[in-house]
Structure 1
Amino acid sequence: MNNKIAYIGCLSLIGMITTEFGVIGILPQVAEHYEITIDKAGLLLSAYALVVALAGPIMTIFASGFDRKKLMAVTMGIFLVTGIVSSLAPPFWLLMTIRVLPAFLHPVLVATAVAAATDAADKKDAHKMMAIVIGGIAIATITTVPFATYISGVFNNWQFSFMVQAAISFVVLVAIITLLPSMPVNEKKSYRKQLGILKKPVFIASALFSFLMIGSIFTTYSYFADYLSKVNGMNEETISLMLLLFGTTGVLGNYVAGKLLSKHITKTTALFLVALIMVTVPLYFSGPMSVPTVLLIAVWGFLQTPCFLTAQAYMMETAPEATEFANSISISFGNLGISIGTAVSGFFIATYSIHSTPLVMFCFAAAALLMMLVKKKLEAAVKRQT
């Protein structure tokens, strides 16, 4: 049963990520349609992420006592409506508004799916179950996100991307309703106990780490299509294939990270982060499409995708007494990183050029590595006091 719940949770994240990141491949077309700059079009991603960051913890605490199946179904229903309305190409202000509505329940969905899959699992299998659920992020990047971009390119209409998002949300909603059992919460944790983890300096340091690491990813990934187009000279069809390649190697990276996390969380997190920092240099110097460029994108995907999983495991390790709330804080700080990382890169793109984004990525990732050192010192200080 745990595996079944984990796989439905994985499917839910595929629907969620398709909605959140499905705009990445079509931002240039959206900007052209609405006659706005690419950094303003990027608000469709950064505004969504900002709402997740600000509303996530509050919504997760509020929803912590509700039946998990009902929460997942309601959330996916809202994602479905969002996709349908967005596909109608409403005025940009309305597109922005409808885009951020599901963001309020985004962290609730992730926290609920992870908690449902891991609660009844043995401790040794908990990271495996979480890896299955979080694997939905990697799978979406290999399947639904590039597919939505590809379909939009085939029909030369960015609205088809949102149609794909709506169709996937519908499939996930049906799966949740028909395949998941009722999952009432037997013991609701007190608000005070959940909020208590915010008093732990080690936990706050891990949250700041998540913010910086996820932020580093989206300084460049948010503008993936525009970067490959302007720096590497790729057309829309090739960019779709690169998204597919990126996601394929990302699934493999996620599998490897899941195995390594069960042995050592901190070392695994640091390993993928340091390797990601090293990727920024050849990415900056990459030129027109070539075999080395394609290989670089493959390596980039392998190293970047597991960072979502490692960041969550790294944070949740510091707050075992309130895993769902810790999970939501991880998602919130991660999405704050998406919002800030996208916005900072947008500023550098507007001021300099799209070519500057790997440099911004390097700075965020280096700061994340420093935060890991800060957390380590705080942990040592706590041990000395006990």
Structure 2
Amino acid sequence: MEKNRILIALAVGVFGITTTEFGVIGILPDLAAYFNVTIDTAGLMLSAFAIVVAFSGPFMVQWLSSYNRKNLMIFSLVIFVVSNLLSVISEHFYVLVFVRMVPAFFHPVYWSIALSIAARQSTHGDSSKSVSMVFSGLTIATVLGVPMATYISDLFGWQASFLLSALINLVSVLGLWFFMPPIETEKKVAQKRDLGILKNNVLWVNFLITFLIITAMYSTYAYMAEFLGSVSKMDGTDISLMLLVFGAMGIYGNRLAGKYMGKYPKKATVLFIVLLISVHLLVYWFGMYYWLIVLITAIWGLIHTGGFVIGNLNLTSSISGTSELINSLFTSCGNLAVTIGTLLGGFWIASYGVHNVIWSSIVCLLMCLFTIFMKVKFVKEMRV
């Protein structure tokens, strides 16, 4: 019971920060229209946030390592509340981008602590289940936060979506405050020893695999609202429902990924990549047919969301034991991938049109399969 309470509290916080980070996905067309910028420029709302996380993560985690863990997580979420409130009154696009970049510095701090605590709460052999439970906060944010932000924006304007994110983060603060027990600070000796993992070649190969997976996921998903509007001819309400379907299916997909990564990590990783390639091809071929894209979107959500759990477990399995540093590397890896994926998708749209954005994801996934093949062939001692 105590373990579940801790994991739920952590997941609630993840729900809050994920809604802030990815809630803009469904409102990028609205922001582009309001500020009179192109859709790929509007993508900076996602990519600028992610790039701050990517490059500040390990440094922020090490810098703040001596502070109380519970208080640090709560403070991080408070920064998210304030940022969302300031976003509401931002009248210039690049001011809005800057305001969103501030909480990005604290995003990896929360994530790395939460994932490390989750791993420590697990008994031998069920780490994947505990980690997937924390990631359920991300999935539920995809189910509720992102489509709700899109729907609210469609009804009341984009400012209302940021008010919603502020409220969600405030609820997350209260959840941690009341339900999270005190957390011991890691010892300095352990922190110094952690730095040695950066010399491990296996870690960096798995880093590349995780990076390619998440880049592929977001080069198309970041522009999902634009694709559904332009290619599938859906209106704002339909797009909100599609994002809801996408995320709802992701809840089950997240559980499946955690289950099978615990039993068959190598097979689960390869199968995930093959299935994600397949569903992207279906989106490309049948994206213009309303009812077919509804069904395909559900399948897409089922597969897509498991990528985070698969990426995290592949990366953390590179080294025995767990640490906040390696989880901060995952957070940096994931957000760097979101940044590159968003930029790649925007470039692909600008060059070839929104319908062809699918191919940017497929190229990255094929590169990932090639990397896995080379890893198995030349680094046989690697554990995945």
Task: Decide: shared fold, TM above 0.5.
Answer: yes
Structure 1 range deviating more: 280-289 or 96-105: 280-289
Matched, 1:129 2:130: yes
Q: What's 1:31 paired with?
A: 32
Deviations 1:239-271 (A, max 9, x none): 000000000111010111111122122221221
Distance 1:108 1:369 in 2: 31
Contact 1:233/1:289 (8 A) holds in 2:
no
Distance 1:213 1:253 in 2: 16
Matched, 1:47 2:42: no
Distance 2:88 2:242 in 1: 24
Distance 2:58 2:267 in 1: 27
Cα RMSD for the two superposed structures: 1.5
Q: What's 2:367 paired with?
A: 367
Q: What's 1:262 paired with?
A: 262
Q: What's 2:175 paired with?
A: 175
1:124 counterpart SS class: coil
Residue 320 of structure 1: CA displacement?
2.4
Distance 1:103 1:189 in 2: 28
TM-score (norm 1): 0.95
TM-score (norm 2): 0.96
Matched, 1:104 2:105: yes
In structure 1, give the amino acid aligned to 2:273.
Answer: L
Structure 1 range deviating more: 91-100 or 18-27: 91-100
In structure 1, give the amino acid aligned to 2:27.
Answer: I
Deviations 1:62-118 (A, max 9, x none): 233332211110110000001101112332121111101111111111111121222
Q: What's 2:320 paired with?
A: 320
Q: What's 2:232 paired with?
A: 232
| Stretches of structure 2 lacking an aligned partner (at least 5 in a row) | none
Structure 1 range deviating more: 42-51 or 346-355: 346-355
Structure 1 range deviating more: 287-296 or 31-40: 287-296
Aligned length: 382
Q: What's 2:290 paired with?
A: 290
1:123 counterpart SS class: coil
Q: What's 2:220 paired with?
A: 220
Query: 5 Å matches for 1:36-185?
Result: 36-155=37-156, 157-185=157-185
In structure 1, give the amino acid aligned to 2:39.
Answer: I
When residues 275 and 382 of structure 1 are mapped into structure 2, their CA distance, relative to the original with a 3 A threshold, is: closer
Contact 1:216/1:361 (8 A) holds in 2:
yes
Identity among equivalent pairs (%): 37
Distance 1:186 1:350 in 2: 47
Deviations 1:133-163 (A, max 9, x none): 01111111111111111111122x1111101
In structure 2, give the amino acid aligned to 1:257.
Answer: A
Residue 382 of structure 1: CA displacement?
6.7
Contact 2:225/2:239 (8 A) holds in 1:
yes
Residue 131 of structure 1: CA displacement?
0.9
Query: 5 Å matches for 1:342-361?
Result: 342-361=342-361
Contact 1:66/1:184 (8 A) holds in 2:
no
Residue 190 of structure 1: CA displacement?
4.0
1:29 counterpart SS class: helix
Contact 2:121/2:130 (8 A) holds in 1:
no
When residues 285 and 186 of structure 1 are mapped into structure 2, their CA distance, relative to the original with a 3 A threshold, is: closer
Distance 1:54 1:169 in 2: 23
Distance 2:225 2:252 in 1: 22
Residue 191 of structure 1: CA displacement?
4.4
2:187 counterpart SS class: coil
Distance 1:211 1:195 in 2: 21
Deviations 1:284-316 (A, max 9, x none): 112434322111101100000010011000110
Contact 1:202/1:378 (8 A) holds in 2:
no
Structure 1 range deviating more: 280-289 or 38-47: 280-289
Distance 1:323 1:292 in 2: 44
Distance 1:130 1:158 in 2: 33
Q: What's 1:12 paired with?
A: 13
When residues 37 and 187 of structure 1 are mapped into structure 2, their CA distance, relative to the original with a 3 A threshold, is: same
Contact 2:318/2:382 (8 A) holds in 1:
no
Matched, 1:202 2:217: no
Contact 1:345/1:357 (8 A) holds in 2:
yes
Residue 322 of structure 1: CA displacement?
4.5
Contact 2:119/2:322 (8 A) holds in 1:
no
In structure 2, give the amino acid aligned to 1:45.
Answer: L
Distance 1:251 1:329 in 2: 25
Distance 1:141 1:120 in 2: 25
Contact 1:2/1:118 (8 A) holds in 2:
no
Contact 1:13/1:134 (8 A) holds in 2:
yes
2:67 counterpart SS class: coil
Q: What's 2:311 paired with?
A: 311
When residues 189 and 145 of structure 1 are mapped into structure 2, their CA distance, relative to the original with a 3 A threshold, is: farther
Contact 1:20/1:48 (8 A) holds in 2:
yes
Distance 2:170 2:151 in 1: 20
Contact 1:276/1:303 (8 A) holds in 2:
yes
Contact 1:118/1:126 (8 A) holds in 2:
yes
Distance 1:97 1:318 in 2: 35
Distance 1:296 1:274 in 2: 15
